């Protein structure tokens, strides 16, 4: 490795530059992938010619359209809260990226409390949803915001509890520590506990993203776009499109970090150690993103009460049992098995 003597401020500037360049770029790629993967899954290809490969230039046209779109704030809306809401959603989304370990040393800030920080910061956007829905002074927006808040908090619990299982098995809250503590075959060990915790985490993650089959907060056939009905132009981008797609990638990255061995090679073969950890992390995250995209056109939307029932009566009790099971495993499993 080469030696670079940079001051703290220079390092900070480099980090800022990289994050601000890479996060929007990945969001664009993932948003484009979402369109095209779903298009192919449904045999409805959509625009295929602009720009060449799978019509990628339509994405740029979409972006330009949003920039040139008139910015409308309804006369009845609470203007201050209305314009603050995108900030309350966008900023936490950016902040969650900072602690994800892409490789052994490739992380913006390696916090001791990484997992705790991640869960804490990611739950702030619920407030943004409520702000958007309430300040719009629109019935659809209000219903959407309440649905969103109820859903986000109900499914935050299984996420937090199953993430706690990962922390218990690793014995640390540092995300790098959790990755290091995992050994092949990652999610399958300890038997049952790891896999169920992963499934609970991922299922609740789909709900946390308000993606189908859990998309009642933005159900277009019932309540238009939910909390964001009155948003247009760039405000709409910052409050829904960007956080939705970025969070899809982030939650896949978190699932990879907590359960799938993060930046470790998929199989423990010596020669695979030569491949940089970033490649493994990207591959695993891309696979999880693909699963999310696959789920979306496959399952129909649930009803609001079914959604709440699924969280409170199934996922939360399951994850409580998992915590006790994981605790028993760590304390009482025979030494040879661990």
Whether the Cβ atoms of residue 247 and residue 93 lie closer than 8 Å to each other: yes
In this structure, the number of other CB atoms found within 10 A of the CB of residue 204 comes to 27
Tokens of 159: 């996420």
How many whole angstroms from its chain centre is CA 83? 24
Options 2, 5, 53, 305; binder of other proteins; rule CB under 8 A: 305
Least Å distance between CB 198 and other proteins?
A: 17
- Which stretches of the chain are assigned E, i.e. beta strand? none
Which is closer to other proteins, CB of 178 or CB of 289? 178
Whether the Cβ atoms of residue 98 and residue 108 lie closer than 8 Å to each other: yes
Least Å distance between CB 108 and other proteins?
A: 7
Nearest 10 degrees: Cα torsion 288, 293, 297, 303: 70
Least Å distance between CB 216 and other proteins?
A: 12
Regarding 279 and contact with other proteins (CB under 8 A), the answer is: no
Which is closer to other proteins, CB of 55 or CB of 240? 240
Options 81, 181, 199, 234; binder of other proteins; rule CB under 8 A: 234
DSSP-assigned letters across all residues of 33-45: HHHHHHHHHTT--
Residue (of 37, 258, 267, 288) closest to 160 by Cα position: 258
Q: Which of residues 212-231 bind other proteins (CB under 8 A)?
A: 224, 229-230
Options 38, 81, 106, 146; binder of other proteins; rule CB under 8 A: 146
Which is closer to other proteins, CB of 204 or CB of 292? 204
Task: State the distance between the two ends of the chain, measured CA to CA, in whole angstroms.
Answer: 35
Options 173, 250, 251, 258; binder of other proteins; rule CB under 8 A: 173
- 7: helix, strand or coil: coil
Which is closer to other proteins, CB of 118 or CB of 288? 118
Options 30, 33, 118, 161; binder of other proteins; rule CB under 8 A: 161
Q: Which of residues 238-277 bind other proteins (CB under 8 A)?
A: 238
DSSP-assigned letters across all residues of 255-307: HHHHHS-TTS-SS--GGGGGS-HHHHHHHHHHHHHHHHHHHHHHSPPPPHHHH
Options 3, 331, 335, 336; binder of other proteins; rule CB under 8 A: 331
The rounded distance, in Å, linking the Cα atoms of 338 and 259 is 16
- Kindly state the number of chain residues that form the binding site for other proteins, as judged by CB under 8 A: 78
Regarding 183 and contact with other proteins (CB under 8 A), the answer is: no
The rounded distance, in Å, linking the Cα atoms of 81 and 155 is 26
Regarding 8 and contact with other proteins (CB under 8 A), the answer is: yes
Q: Per CB under 8 A, which region of 64-72, 195-203, 207-215, 245-253 contacts other proteins?
A: 64-72
Q: Which of residues 82-141 bind other proteins (CB under 8 A)?
A: 86-87, 90-91, 94-95, 98, 108-112, 115-116, 119, 134, 136-141
Least Å distance between CB 270 and other proteins?
A: 30
Least Å distance between CB 5 and other proteins?
A: 16
């Amino acid at each position: 490795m080469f030696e670079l003597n940079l001051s703290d401020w220079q390092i900070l500037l480099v980090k800022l530059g990289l994050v601000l360049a890479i996060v929007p770029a990945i969001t664009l790629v993932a948003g484009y992938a979402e369109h095209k993967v779903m298009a192919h899954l449904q045999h409805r290809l959509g625009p295929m010619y602009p720009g060449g490969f799978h019509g990628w230039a339509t994405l740029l046209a979409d972006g330009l359209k949003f920039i040139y779109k008139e910015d409308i704030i309804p006369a009845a809306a609470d203007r201050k809260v209305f314009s603050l809401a995108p900030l309350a959603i966008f900023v936490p989304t950016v902040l969650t990226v900072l602690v994800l370990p892409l490789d052994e040393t490739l992380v913006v800030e390696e916090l001791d409390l990484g997992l705790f920080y991640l869960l804490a910061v990611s739950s702030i956007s619920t407030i943004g949803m409520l702000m958007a829905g309430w300040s719009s002074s629109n019935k659809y927006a209000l219903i959407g915001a309440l649905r969103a808040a109820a859903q986000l908090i109900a499914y935050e619990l299984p996420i937090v509890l199953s993430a706690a299982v990962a922390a218990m098995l690793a014995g640390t809250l540092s995300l790098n520590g959790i990755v290091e503590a995992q050994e092949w075959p990652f999610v399958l060990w300890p038997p049952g506990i790891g896999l169920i915790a992963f499934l609970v985490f991922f299922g609740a993650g789909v709900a946390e993203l308000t993606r189908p089959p859990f998309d009642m907060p933005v159900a277009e056939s019932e309540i238009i776009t939910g909390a964001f009905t009155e948003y247009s132009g760039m405000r709409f981008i910052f409050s829904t499109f960007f956080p939705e797609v970025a969070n899809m990638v982030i939650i896949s990255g978190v699932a990879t970090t907590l359960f799938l061995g993060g930046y470790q090679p998929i199989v423990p073969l010596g020669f695979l150690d030569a491949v940089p950890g970033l490649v493994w992390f990207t591959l695993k995250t891309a696979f999880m993103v693909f699963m999310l995209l696959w789920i979306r056109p496959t399952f129909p939307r649930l009803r609001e009460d079914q959604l709440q029932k699924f969280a409170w009566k199934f996922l939360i009790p399951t994850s409580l049992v998992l915590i006790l099971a994981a605790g028993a495993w760590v304390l009482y499993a025979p030494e040879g098995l661990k």
